[in-house]
Chain A
Amino acid sequence: MNDLVSSVVHQIEQIVIGKQTQVKLSIACIFAKGHLLIEDLPGMGKTTLAHALAATLNLSYQRVQFTSDLLPSDVIGVSIYDTENQTFKLHQGPIFNQLVLADEINRASPKTQSALLEAMEENRVSIDGKTYQLPQPFFVIATQNPLFHSGTYSLPESQLDRFMMRISLGFPSVEAEKQILSNAFGATDFSSLKAFITPEQLIEIQLKVQNIHVGEEVLNYVVALLQQSRNGHYDVNPLSPRAGKSLISAAKAWAFIEGRDYLLPDDIQAVFSAVCQHRLNPAFDMKAEATNDSSQRILHSVDAISPLLS
């Protein structure tokens, strides 16, 4: 299995160059059954990452470009009267795919945004009173432009909370950028991507991830981190137990990618910022990130080895 995972990671890294951490985080998010929010300036490779993930994991894939005039029915589908059979027939929307890319999600109105909510939380949608189960596995990868860009609505906290992780790609390094610019045609050639994993295999992986052992010391660590966010010394939203669960799930997936069957504080540290930053501080400020990241401050005030004793 490890070979499989590493080849998945390796292949996506060929497409999204120089972003190993982010690629690994996004794969971890999918292994942990979480939805992923990618936030960055346009042109940083958000959509590319989503495409590459879909192709590599061999999932049915649909991209929805969110605009201000997008309606909920454009996402989930609509019942149309079939004159031949004298019945209403459901025309499934793009949501009936295993991987849905909600591109520039914060350009759509809140109503449309919230159409995604039920799907993301319960893996099903309701149309005209009837409930339809979504295909399994089901993921939403959403991309979002920074809030200071024109024509954007901010995502409400409740919706942000549905995303297991928020990552941003950031500018590539000098070498990576050279590489991107040099193979101008190869980069977007998704047809060459191999599908490594079948959906069944993915579900199996998700099960294995769930069964990864979490020792008491790691639980203590997570609890200490959650407590730290709640004691009011950081100007942030406190972390909920759901955030703690997401943190552990994501860390389990990370441990799985690392080839371990038990959790280490290192795994928590690796995913902490991606899982918690958007819960602590919904606004995305590119300048503040480097120095004043509240998740980093919380991380740095808890001892990793004996968290409850320090």
Chain B
Amino acid sequence: MVNKRYSSLSINQNILLQEKLVQGHLSLSKKTQLLLMCSLGLNCLTLVLELSGWLIAYIVISLLWQSSIYLKLVAQPNRLIKLLVSIAGLFLLALSAKQLGLLNSMVHLLVFSYLLKPLELTSRKDFYIQVLLGIFVLVTSLVFIQSLYFMLLVLLFLTINFMLLFSIFYKTASHKTLAKGVTTTLIKSIPLTLLLFIGFPKIAPFWQMPAAQNAQVGLSDEVKVGDIAKLALSNKLAFRVEFDQAPPNYQQMYWRTLVLEDFDGIKWYQRKDNYQNLWQQQLQEEPDFSSIIGLSKLPLVSYQVIVEPNFQQWLFGLNIMTNVKSEQQTVNKNRDFTLTANKKLNSVTSYRVTSALTDHINIILTPTARNRNLLVNERNNQALADEGQRLRRLYQDDLSLVKAVLTRFNQQNYHYTLNPPLLSNNSLSEFYFDTKAGFCEHYASSFTYLMRSAGIPARMVLGYLGGEYNQRGNYYSVYQRDAHAWSEVWIAGRGWLRIDPTAAVSPERVETGFSELLQQEQNMLSSDLFASFNASQWFNQLRYMFEAIDYQWTKWVVGYSINDQINVINALYLTFVQHKRLIIAISVLMLAMIVVLISLRKKNKASRFPTEVLLLNKLIKSANKLGILKTPTLTADQLAQHIISEKPSASAAVLTFINTFKKVHYQSLSADERVKEIDKLKQQFKQLTSQLKQSG
């Protein structure tokens, strides 16, 4: 008939045209919309600690709003509404920008744009941008938190983002299938990730990462009575230490951090000219390491310290830190024998220290230093100053005077508590004579003050005491609650001698460590379920294990530096050189295995399809070279028409092949007939392919 060919062709063209249009228009399935909302909420959730209140409110409202748009409860917003929403958000952002600082403002802007993008998803491109933005938002959270467990959470959320991306390609797949697909893809990407992590050059960022958080954590360089008690309740990790050899005794683990030499009657201060700015000036008058007498005879201990970001500069070590090395930071050794970093610690920092274990630093005291450490500010503490002078008259020898005070702490009715009675004007005298109850700071500062009044140079030292041993990881965790204060007095012949007055009052505080003591006190104070849970053995075991894993993570992954990288690559190269033949043999074997596996898989896949479909698929592939694309709706007849229009010379061969294909695939044939027809089909296929090739 006349119109037969023409009409069916026009339908095909119509279908092809519509296919194009369908591709251009983005219509999200219900599943994709659900995933979109999920990923939006979860990605923002990872940053929730950094975001300001108004943005969190914005997130919640826009999530509700967009969900109701997708549920078709509300109409899509028009341009005016979108514009208003964006301007309002930008206005709020501008208002809070100054308070937020540069980094946080940028994060806010990012989250904000990510939130509003779903309102204008009109094409595939928009959708891709949305997913990319989401992943960027998610990864930004790692700037703020780097723990392993947070990382795992981020990885989980990343899976959801990828599921969202997958869902647009696999419209009909269920959530389970998507999750499976994403997981397999992620697992497949592990080797590449490892390769990149180990091998890709760790270039320092082109820009300076601004301090993410300005709130300081831990000790501060000025201390008044009662300050440390606040830290005592903090379970925040300060730093972790791994000793190269047997660790020192608990009583030796005084992590010297800050030396406070100025007292104004209420607060102890670190000398402002102590380090950095007046470095040169000090050189003239202060002693340095070379002036320590007998340093070479002291036992040495070396260890690695991994400090959590605390946004401060000081570092921790045991008395006397002689040798310090860090890859991330330049470390200064200060004249008061403490350590400081060049920059604030805004990421995990590790350094190696060698310390001479001793309780004194034997140096000659310069007259300036002597005078400074004898200064007594009598404000609030007149009685204590008088007491010092009285003691001086009683004891000529410095050490006996020290001992006398310690004996008083030990034998009179002093006791150790974290809830001391309130002191008026933070008066040390009141504590010393009346209340007689306090913790390390009370004892250390009143002791130091008393010594100065008695004419013995003395100063306050802040730091941490001890730490919690993790058997699983063989390292010590020092928490903020381990913060401690003690004194140093200068005794002729011994130099700066460490005296811990708290030890005189509460020896167990020094011997078993604060963490344990605190635990007991807490258990006594609160009889709630959690406390008893906390104390239980298995919980501690579990906690140690998790902490040990996190420690390894911090040490090897977060702290993986360019030097580590070079070492690893060198080691790998060395192994390669040593076992060259073996490695080449293994790689060849693996390659061969992969090839076999792939071919097996192909065969497996092939067996699912009947022969005629396989042949047709081959034809489709060669048709591909002619510019004919396979669409799902492409049928055998349509394929034939396309090929004929591209290659009229092959038309006869194409038609014979396609007709036999139709016969085999769509008509009822007996088994015998089928075998015959398939043989025919194979022959025809050969002819057809040779014809297609011949004509170029």
Question: What residues of chain A have their CB less than 8 Å away from a CB belonging to chain B?
Answer: 2, 5-6, 9-10, 13, 20-21, 24, 213, 215, 217-218, 228, 231-233, 258-259, 262-266, 269-270, 290-293, 296-297, 299-306, 309-310
Q: A215-B666, A262-B666 are in contact. Are A291 and B1 (CB under 8 A)?
A: no
Contact B613 A263 (CB under 8 A): no
Contact B633 A304 (CB under 8 A): yes
Contact A269 B635 (CB under 8 A): yes
User: Is B98 an interface position by the 8 A CB rule?
Assistant: no
Docked Cα-Cα span, A257 to B1, in Å, equals: 10
Contact A20 B172 (CB under 8 A): no
Q: A231-B172, A299-B633, A301-B172 are in contact. Are A306 and B613 (CB under 8 A)?
A: yes
13 further A-B contacts with Cβ under 8 Å, apart from A20-B6, A233-B29, A300-B22, are A5-B1, A9-B1, A213-B667, A228-B172, A231-B172, A233-B30, A291-B22, A292-B25, A296-B18, A296-B22, A306-B609, A309-B608, A310-B632
Query: What are the 4 tightest A-B residue pairs by CB atom distance, in nearest-first order?
Result: A6-B1, A215-B666, A291-B21, A20-B7
Contact B662 A269 (CB under 8 A): no
Docked Cα-Cα span, A262 to B665, in Å, equals: 11
| A233: contacting residue among B3, B25, B172, B662, CB under 8 A | B172
Docked Cα-Cα span, A95 to B633, in Å, equals: 41
Interface string of B6-39 (1 = CB under 8 A from A): 1110110001001101100101011100000000
For A10, the chain B residues whose CB sits under 8 A away are 1-3
Docked Cα-Cα span, A262 to B29, in Å, equals: 36
**For chain B residues 646-696, which have a beta carbon within 8 Å of chain A?**
662, 665-668
Most buried by B among A2, A270, A305: A305
Docked Cα-Cα span, A262 to B609, in Å, equals: 22
Docked Cα-Cα span, A269 to B16, in Å, equals: 12
Chain B interface category by residue count:
35 or more
Nearest-neighbour CB distance to chain B for A243, whole angstroms, equals 19
Nearest-neighbour CB distance to chain B for A295, whole angstroms, equals 10
Contact B22 A297 (CB under 8 A): yes
For A301, the chain B residues whose CB sits under 8 A away are 171-172, 632
Contact A291 B18 (CB under 8 A): yes
Docked Cα-Cα span, A10 to B616, in Å, equals: 35
| B3: contacting residue among A2, A9, A306, A309, CB under 8 A | A9
User: Is B638 an interface position by the 8 A CB rule?
Assistant: yes
| B171: contacting residue among A2, A233, A296, CB under 8 A | A233
Contact A302 B2 (CB under 8 A): no
Residue ID in chain A nearest B614 by CB atoms? A306
Docked Cα-Cα span, A80 to B287, in Å, equals: 131
Contact A264 B6 (CB under 8 A): no
For B638, the chain A residues whose CB sits under 8 A away are 266
Docked Cα-Cα span, A24 to B632, in Å, equals: 25
For B613, the chain A residues whose CB sits under 8 A away are 305-306
Contact B25 A300 (CB under 8 A): no
Contact A309 B609 (CB under 8 A): yes
Nearest-neighbour CB distance to chain B for A10, whole angstroms, equals 7
Nearest-neighbour CB distance to chain B for A175, whole angstroms, equals 14
Docked Cα-Cα span, A292 to B15, in Å, equals: 12
Docked Cα-Cα span, A301 to B19, in Å, equals: 10
Contact B668 A13 (CB under 8 A): no
Residue ID in chain B nearest A13 by CB atoms? B3
Contact B668 A2 (CB under 8 A): no
User: Is B631 an interface position by the 8 A CB rule?
Assistant: yes
Contact B4 A296 (CB under 8 A): no
Contact A266 B25 (CB under 8 A): no
25 residue pairs of the A-B complex, CB under 8 angstroms, read A6-B3, A9-B1, A10-B2, A13-B3, A20-B6, A20-B10, A21-B10, A21-B11, A232-B30, A262-B668, A264-B662, A265-B635, A290-B18, A291-B18, A292-B22, A292-B27, A296-B15, A300-B15, A300-B18, A300-B632, A301-B632, A303-B632, A305-B616, A305-B636, A305-B665
Docked Cα-Cα span, A258 to B15, in Å, equals: 19
For B637, the chain A residues whose CB sits under 8 A away are 264, 266
Nearest-neighbour CB distance to chain B for A291, whole angstroms, equals 5
Q: A20-B7, A231-B172, A233-B172 are in contact. Are A6 and B2 (CB under 8 A)?
A: yes
Contact A258 B4 (CB under 8 A): yes
Docked Cα-Cα span, A299 to B22, in Å, equals: 12
Most buried by A among B10, B27, B609: B27
For A309, the chain B residues whose CB sits under 8 A away are 608-609
Docked Cα-Cα span, A273 to B3, in Å, equals: 21
Docked Cα-Cα span, A305 to B638, in Å, equals: 11
For A296, the chain B residues whose CB sits under 8 A away are 15, 18, 22
Most buried by B among A10, A263, A292, A304: A304
Contact B635 A264 (CB under 8 A): yes
Interface string of B36-51 (1 = CB under 8 A from A): 0000000000000000
Docked Cα-Cα span, A305 to B616, in Å, equals: 9
**For chain B residues 603-627, which have a beta carbon within 8 Å of chain A?**
608-609, 613, 616
Docked Cα-Cα span, A2 to B1, in Å, equals: 8
Nearest-neighbour CB distance to chain A for B27, whole angstroms, equals 7
Contact A300 B3 (CB under 8 A): no
For B7, the chain A residues whose CB sits under 8 A away are 20-21, 24
For A213, the chain B residues whose CB sits under 8 A away are 667-668
Residue ID in chain B nearest A306 by CB atoms? B613
Nearest-neighbour CB distance to chain A for B75, whole angstroms, equals 16
Contact B171 A304 (CB under 8 A): no
For A300, the chain B residues whose CB sits under 8 A away are 15, 18-19, 22, 631-633
Most buried by A among B27, B662, B666: B666
Residue ID in chain A nearest B17 by CB atoms? A290
Q: A228-B172, A233-B171 are in contact. Are A258 and B8 (CB under 8 A)?
A: yes
User: Is B591 an interface position by the 8 A CB rule?
Assistant: no
**For chain B residues 147-173, which have a beta carbon within 8 Å of chain A?**
171-172
Contact A266 B8 (CB under 8 A): yes
Residue ID in chain A nearest B20 by CB atoms? A291
Docked Cα-Cα span, A141 to B498, in Å, equals: 107
For A232, the chain B residues whose CB sits under 8 A away are 30
Residue ID in chain A nearest B24 by CB atoms? A291
For B19, the chain A residues whose CB sits under 8 A away are 300
User: Is B69 an interface position by the 8 A CB rule?
Assistant: no
Contact B1 A217 (CB under 8 A): no
| B25: contacting residue among A20, A228, A291, A299, CB under 8 A | A291
For A292, the chain B residues whose CB sits under 8 A away are 22, 25, 27
User: Is B634 an interface position by the 8 A CB rule?
Assistant: yes
Docked Cα-Cα span, A21 to B9, in Å, equals: 10
Nearest-neighbour CB distance to chain A for B624, whole angstroms, equals 15
Docked Cα-Cα span, A302 to B635, in Å, equals: 11
Contact A266 B665 (CB under 8 A): no
Docked Cα-Cα span, A296 to B15, in Å, equals: 8
For B8, the chain A residues whose CB sits under 8 A away are 258, 266, 270
Docked Cα-Cα span, A215 to B668, in Å, equals: 6
For A217, the chain B residues whose CB sits under 8 A away are 665-666
Residue ID in chain A nearest B662 by CB atoms? A264
| A305: contacting residue among B3, B171, B635, CB under 8 A | B635
For A269, the chain B residues whose CB sits under 8 A away are 11, 15, 633, 635
For A299, the chain B residues whose CB sits under 8 A away are 15, 632-633
**For chain B residues 194-235, which have a beta carbon within 8 Å of chain A?**
none
For B25, the chain A residues whose CB sits under 8 A away are 291-292
| A262: contacting residue among B11, B608, B634, B667, CB under 8 A | B667
Docked Cα-Cα span, A259 to B5, in Å, equals: 12
Residue ID in chain B nearest A7 by CB atoms? B1
Contact B666 A263 (CB under 8 A): yes
